[in-house]
Structure 1
Amino acid sequence: MTDQTKTDTPPDRLSVHPKSAHFDVEVLKRGVGIRFKGKQRTDIEEYSISEGWVRVQAGKTMDRHGNPLTLKLNGPVEAWFEDLGEDAPVAKAG
């Protein structure tokens, strides 16, 4: 278990793709809730709280390697661990 999974808030940056340097299976197993621009989202591929962006899949479009194309959207990002329940601490910028 990494130091990040022992905390009550998710890491600043996380990706669901195993080839990414920001992929962490232990964190993802806990379930991470994401709120982007005030709306809870379930379609986030990657996020960065401090830089204020998320990546979402662009429809069913694939690149030449068969990976989904993603769009980078800018705005306030908040993340929390879903396994901590309703009163989970929220990680957010600022």
Structure 2
Amino acid sequence: MNDTANRPQLPDRLSIDPRSPHYNAAVFEHDVGIRLNDKEFNNVGEYCISEGWIKIPAGKALDRKGNPMMTKLKGKVEAFYR
């Protein structure tokens, strides 16, 4: 599976929430990986490379709309296609 020419460029900021202005459906057609401080995360809800943070779910806690509560981790963020 060597279709790197067909993949869109990864944005500086990306969210998995379709209601977010940072959502990009074309990127999610491919498998995206995120590393924070050289540790790979597979449960990232949103990231920003230039500001150096990712948001991940904070356990099983939900907000009043039923969405998972998110916690922000800071460091060196790298986004890549798997």
Q: Same fold by TM-score, threshold 0.5 exceeded? A: yes
Higher helix share: 1
Gaps of 5+ in 2: 1-6
Show the counterpart of 1:52.
52
How far did residue 6 of structure 1 move? 3.4
Q: TM-score, normalised by structure 1?
A: 0.76
Kept after mapping to 1: 8 A contact 2:8/2:26? no
Inter-partner Cα distance in structure 1 for 2:15 and 2:70: 12
AA paired with 2:17? H
Q: TM-score, normalised by structure 2?
A: 0.86
- RMSD of Structure 2 on Structure 1 (CA): 1.1
Inter-partner Cα distance in structure 2 for 1:78 and 1:49: 7
Q: Secondary structure at the match of 2:45?
A: strand
Show the counterpart of 1:41.
41
Show the counterpart of 1:74.
74
Q: Secondary structure at the match of 2:66?
A: coil
Number of positions where the alignment pairs a residue of Structure 1 with one of Structure 2: 76
